[in-house]
Structure 1
């Protein structure tokens, strides 16, 4: 670590808030938000959609931080330049690239919020090196997966001197990698080659071996955990292709280790992956998932979906399998729609998928409009349903659609306006008085039913009564489902069956019921 001049005031508690990319490689007009309460962010999407580009931009946008240790000042973090990832070539100079990063940090007791503007002129990138904000940043790329055996040129007779690693940090790295791979390493070594070159070595069972004999995934894990160990508080860790060369169980254990480091050091960890298992509910409390999708027609923008589900995203690249499809927020809304479909007698023709948070509905509706223009897919059999507690009015939905479909092609009444109107037509919501959430509406419906209908209904009513002491509506429903017993999905079905007996059920579900009934006649004629 080199000595350097200390900045006038110590900078701490750095945090990424969001990034807006106007144009950079394949990324066009996309905004990505990082959640403060989730230390890990997974960037997902098909190959070539710009996942790695996001990491490259972030790695290049900060300069190392300076930390005083006793009487010395040391540099912490890696220093990457924009040209390291975006070099000028005969094919292009990146001169149209433009982006911005919003971040916060503290100088003493003062909290600061800044927007860093990034652009490329014909000659150079801005900001220049000395104008970049300070943040300890590390980038772990795909090259870390290249086995040492493929890097080493002298292979006939490799000689080195071995020295045990006995320091606490090396021991922790060894144990963490062993925890992830389910391998009990008893020792680790530094194998010194000629000059300054060295190789990591470990002992597993009775076998000693160096990184020349390690699997690529094993080698990369040692590098990654070493990076996490040396990182200081509030560092930014960027990992490309986190799941590369790891089986699913090992990846899941790695995610939990990343969480431990992130929480103990207040790290912000952003990684790319193709593995859909990271979207599982087991990780939802600490991993924010961001899916990228490109429209195939003008304006050719990039869309970012927040914490959505693979089944909904797959539909953007696939085809409609059933006659009708409805997308909703979560399993509660899905259960309501399943009951409605049964009542209308179209359940066998309907596919229901979850899109995650309500805000995603507008991005999906916009994406489907652009998709239709590229492949001609009719959308009269597709509906996006909101819970009714958010974006309940038409004006609120218009505002969100305008945020995504920003073009004004053709002026008033032109292509831009038609797209926005078509996207709005794909959206509806449950009729929720006073913007109550589905859990509150359904619980109140159940409580409005009197005992004595039948044994099964009475069982649900008694369970709901037992849960009445809970304050939050969602907790009331979850407790009710616990008291009903059995698998959650089955208990939820019983709960919805009773709610559907309420006199308020028809009005609450009317928009979706009407949509289903209009299409029922046509479907039955076709079958």
Structure 2
């Protein structure tokens, strides 16, 4: 593999009733050779809700197995994290930093936040600032609306489906009118239905993703992940 820039490598794969030939060493080839599944795409998010959303988007693109999701906590940590990685020599070619979309909404706000952690005017810092801005994306929320409240609004505006489990989620969501903390718009649904949090988030996001407003909500993340798909998935070699 170290000679890949000097020799022509092909991967022969036996499948049912056919043999395939791939002309690039992509993550699936490494998995077949080593038994280890590489996850070259790294996505950094605020919390477990955002992580579930990113995994849903990656799954739609069929690149979930190549994608790892990590949490950085409060939104302000996004800029500290990306700045630290870039100043530490990381290229961040396959790294994405996702904001929930309720703060640092404008390009100007993001630039100001980046400037606070990447100071100076030498070429390396200026290049790091440019890269940082290009890999910080966000979910698209209405003004002054928290993520949980927005997702709740998607649920209660849905019509009944042919999936009874989805219908119960919609029914429970509609019964939640006011909460003392916007996070409870989602956590109360999970609590009332008696789910473990990870399972509950997955089910709720599966339903929310059927909304007509979903594609716009995740559009920036979808576009970035989509741009990485070709470099992850294997294509048949040209004869």
TM-score by length of 2: 0.79
Which structure has more helix as a fraction of its residues?
Answer: 2
1:387 pairs with 81, 86, 100, which one?
Answer: 100
Long gaps (5+) in structure 2: 1-37
**1:34-53 counterparts in 2 under 5 A?**
none
**Cα distance, 1:471 vs. partner?**
5.1
**Cα distance, 1:435 vs. partner?**
4.1
**1:39-78 counterparts in 2 under 5 A?**
none
**Cα distance, 1:459 vs. partner?**
1.4
Q: Which residue of 2 aligns with 1:456?
A: 165
Q: Which residue of 2 aligns with 1:58?
A: none
SS at match of 1:341: helix
Give the 3 Å change call, closer, same or farther, for CA 517–355 of structure 1 in structure 2.
same
Is the Cα contact below 8 Å between 1:428 and 1:511 reproduced in 2? yes
Long gaps (5+) in structure 1: 1-320
Q: Which residue of 2 aligns with 1:491?
A: 200
**Cα distance, 1:526 vs. partner?**
7.4
1:511 pairs with 220, 226, 233, which one?
Answer: 220
2:52 pairs with 335, 340, 343, which one?
Answer: 335
- C-alpha distance in 2, partners of 1:429/1:360? 14
Is the Cα contact below 8 Å between 1:369 and 1:419 reproduced in 2? yes
Is the Cα contact below 8 Å between 1:324 and 1:350 reproduced in 2? yes
Is 2:61 aligned against 1:344?
A: yes
Is 2:156 aligned against 1:443?
A: no
**Cα distance, 1:415 vs. partner?**
3.2
Is the Cα contact below 8 Å between 1:330 and 1:354 reproduced in 2? yes
- C-alpha distance in 2, partners of 1:347/1:449? 27
Q: Which residue of 1 aligns with 2:84?
A: 367
The Cα RMSD (Å) is: 1.8
**Cα distance, 1:522 vs. partner?**
1.3
Q: Which residue of 1 aligns with 2:115?
A: 402
- C-alpha distance in 2, partners of 1:500/1:384? 21
Q: Which residue of 1 aligns with 2:231?
A: 522
TM-score by length of 1: 0.37
- C-alpha distance in 1, partners of 2:63/2:140? 21
Which structure has more strand as a fraction of its residues?
Answer: 1
- C-alpha distance in 2, partners of 1:434/1:422? 27
**1:148-227 counterparts in 2 under 5 A?**
none
Give the length in aligned residue pairs: 200
**Cα distance, 1:388 vs. partner?**
0.4
**Cα distance, 1:472 vs. partner?**
3.9
**Cα distance, 1:464 vs. partner?**
0.7
CA offsets, 1:13-71, max 9 Å, x none? xxxxxxxxxxxxxxxxxxxxxxxxxxxxxxxxxxxxxxxxxxxxxxxxxxxxxxxxxxx
**Cα distance, 1:521 vs. partner?**
1.2
Task: Name which one, 1 or 2, has greater alpha-carbon Rg.
Answer: 1
